[in-house]
Structure 1
Amino acid sequence: MFELRLLCPEERVEPVSDALDALDALSVSVEDADAQTDAERALFGEPGLPPPKEGWSRSRVLALFATEAAASEAGDILAAQDFFQGCEIQGIAQVPDQDWVRLTQSQFAPVPITPEFWIVPTWHEPPAQARQLIRLDPGLAFGTGTHPTTRMCLRWIANNPPAGKRVLDYGCGSGILAIGAARFGAAEIDAVDIDPAAVQATVANAQANGVQLRAGLPAEAAGHYELVLANILAMPLKVLAPLLCAHVAPGGALVLAGILERQADELKEAYAPFAALEVSDSEDGWVLMTARL
């Protein structure tokens, strides 16, 4: 992999980061360019008070690309944009391959969803109070149960068991939501993702949990489902509104996550022609939005 390194003033960080995402950067991170110098400034304030600033005066924006050519092309495209004014390309560097995702995910412990429903790593013993559990090796895909969006989706499933129903997990990641639906009685489950690593992780995790599901690419989702789950991010959820709603059977449920509280109204507007979304749960600044069609 190759890292494109940029220096940006505070007001340029967001548009540059959005552009890098549109240019297919594998990841984008932002650091304080003045860290460990006399100019370093913290972004946190007193407990209960808003931060004194939303961003650093100067930020180092780091974007990962699969090839040096892709990183170079992204830099050339950015440099030609008006919003890049005041920014600087500091160079491109090769990054040694390392499985950072597995390194991070290997450290997570059992996660309670409800008092009796737990997500338990394959290397841990289940807690004594666990009556229902998912054994999980997240592999290289998103979905360990530690993130509020995943927990809220699983809580919804536990409180609204899809017994005997046909379920679609769109953007399945590790397959955790699909497996959760199976644990609560779903009769037929399709789990789809654009990332082949996610499909592989879902198949492996389903086998480890002894549940039956079909995992594949999004084109393999077919027909109507009585429950459609999508834990992605707000922007793709807005784009996918007609597709996801078209998959919901009459009287079925749509459950969406990956949405910040401030984005709820945007999602309601995007889905208004198809469904009346409402906030059903919230945790740590994230919301769960649901609708009945």
Structure 2
Amino acid sequence: MAWIQVRTNTTAQVAEKLGDMLMEQGALSITFMDAQDTPVFEPLPGETRLWGDTDVMALFTADTDTTQAQALIRSVLGEAAPLKVEALEDKDWERAWMDNFHPMQFGKRLWICPSWRDVPDPSAVNVMLDPGLAFGTGTHPTTALCLEWLDGQDLEGKTVVDFGCGSGILAIAALKLGAARVIGVDIDPQAILASRDNAERNGVADRLELYLPKDQPQGLEADLVVANILAGPLRELRDIILGYLKPGGAIALSGILDMQAEALAQYYGELCQVDPVVSREEWCRISGIKG
């Protein structure tokens, strides 16, 4: 099967918002990549690179007219926004991101490893990952912040809810780090499929329960909750997210920009004892304990 990939470049601050807008335009998946590692939009000799640190790649089926998607990018980033539109066969698309996805360490114990590469440290806690069409490889600062938080928790025998589970990376990491049971919830059926496939690849599928919101059982209760989504939904769904958590349970939230963190921390602070905000590349993690 053939695909069309529309690629542009922006800052990390804008990338997630733009990705959400392109999904609304019909993109099947959005991939974020560090532009410093894979410079597709190189300046000409003597020019200064004026664009950002994140490449945004939107994948569409081959029969999609991407004119509207391109117009959307220009409306958000300006008429001079860099754009690259190309047709990809399955093998080309897979190779394009497989070549740039390397094993990464988070915290002291945890490694995220592409399923097609050798693990650097067989004695570490290794999560073998194939993201499929779902977001979450660990390369984005929000995912990295959550993985590092999980690595620092005592998860032995605990129940964890991963709200917005995506590729399952956080859920599987929690299980590999000792959690007895993890519940993954996501609004995207592709995320449920990707999480299930990755759980089977890591031998933890028997301890991972996956639900669309409409299908989840009532009365779920967890020792820890992690939610790596966006600040808007985190605010709107605060009571639902905290409703999963036992009193005294720990929570970590990400997908939050620097400018949004203080207000959101105060909002969750009404019901939780909130830790100092942790920032990385304009993105933040809020964590705390439910009162």
- Structure 1 and Structure 2 fold alike (TM over 0.5): yes
Q: Tell me, yes or no, if structure 1 residue 214 matches structure 2 residue 209.
A: yes
The whole-number CA distance in structure 1 between the counterparts of 2:169 and 2:96 is 19
- 2:82 aligned partner: none
Which residue identity lines up with residue 127 of structure 2 in the other structure? I
Q: 1:253 deviation in Å?
A: 1.2
Q: How does 1:166-181 map to 2 (within 5 A)?
A: 166-181=159-174
- 1:59 aligned partner: none
Q: Tell me, yes or no, if structure 1 residue 186 matches structure 2 residue 179.
A: yes
Normalising to structure 2: TM-score of the pair?
Answer: 0.69
Q: 1:3 deviation in Å?
A: 10
The whole-number CA distance in structure 1 between the counterparts of 2:18 and 2:171 is 31
Q: 1:105 deviation in Å?
A: 4.5
1:119 corresponds, among 109, 112, 116, to: 112
Q: 1:244 deviation in Å?
A: 0.4
User: Retained in 1: the 8 A contact 2:4–2:88?
Assistant: no
SS at match of 1:178: helix
The structure-2 alpha-carbon separation of the partners of 1:273 and 1:290, relative to structure 1 and needing over 3 Å to count, comes to same
The structure-2 alpha-carbon separation of the partners of 1:128 and 1:260, relative to structure 1 and needing over 3 Å to count, comes to same
The whole-number CA distance in structure 2 between the counterparts of 1:133 and 1:127 is 9
Question: Which protein shows a greater Rg?
Answer: 1
Q: How many matched pairs?
A: 262
Aligned-pair Cα RMSD in Å: 4.4
1:137-186 CA-partner distances (Å, limit 9, x unpaired): 11111111222222221111111122111111111111011111101211
The whole-number CA distance in structure 1 between the counterparts of 2:107 and 2:58 is 38
1:90-123 CA-partner distances (Å, limit 9, x unpaired): xxxx985766477325531110113442111111
The whole-number CA distance in structure 2 between the counterparts of 1:202 and 1:105 is 18
1:251 corresponds, among 236, 248, 251, to: 248
Which residue identity lines up with residue 196 of structure 1 in the other structure? P
- 1:9 aligned partner: none
The whole-number CA distance in structure 2 between the counterparts of 1:160 and 1:126 is 23
2:130 corresponds, among 122, 125, 137, to: 137
1:173-212 CA-partner distances (Å, limit 9, x unpaired): 1101111110121111111211111111111111111112
The structure-2 alpha-carbon separation of the partners of 1:98 and 1:194, relative to structure 1 and needing over 3 Å to count, comes to farther
Q: 1:218 deviation in Å?
A: 2.3
Normalising to structure 1: TM-score of the pair?
Answer: 0.69
1:25-52 CA-partner distances (Å, limit 9, x unpaired): 64699xxxxx98xxx9753xxxxxxxxx
SS at match of 1:119: strand
The whole-number CA distance in structure 2 between the counterparts of 1:213 and 1:28 is 25
Q: Tell me, yes or no, if structure 1 residue 240 matches structure 2 residue 237.
A: yes
Q: How does 1:16-31 map to 2 (within 5 A)?
A: 20=21, 26=27
Unaligned runs of 5+ in 2: 7-13, 33-42, 80-84
Unaligned runs of 5+ in 1: 5-12, 30-34, 44-53, 56-61, 79-83, 89-93
The structure-2 alpha-carbon separation of the partners of 1:116 and 1:22, relative to structure 1 and needing over 3 Å to count, comes to closer
The whole-number CA distance in structure 2 between the counterparts of 1:145 and 1:191 is 17
2:281 corresponds, among 272, 281, 284, to: 284
The structure-2 alpha-carbon separation of the partners of 1:65 and 1:165, relative to structure 1 and needing over 3 Å to count, comes to same
The structure-2 alpha-carbon separation of the partners of 1:28 and 1:124, relative to structure 1 and needing over 3 Å to count, comes to closer
2:144 corresponds, among 145, 151, 170, to: 151
User: Retained in 2: the 8 A contact 1:20–1:28?
Assistant: no
1:230-268 CA-partner distances (Å, limit 9, x unpaired): 111222222221210111111111111111222211312
The whole-number CA distance in structure 2 between the counterparts of 1:63 and 1:128 is 33
The whole-number CA distance in structure 2 between the counterparts of 1:181 and 1:204 is 16
* Percent of aligned pairs sharing the same letter: 38
The whole-number CA distance in structure 2 between the counterparts of 1:283 and 1:101 is 28
User: Retained in 1: the 8 A contact 2:108–2:151?
Assistant: no
The whole-number CA distance in structure 2 between the counterparts of 1:107 and 1:128 is 19
Q: 1:282 deviation in Å?
A: 2.6
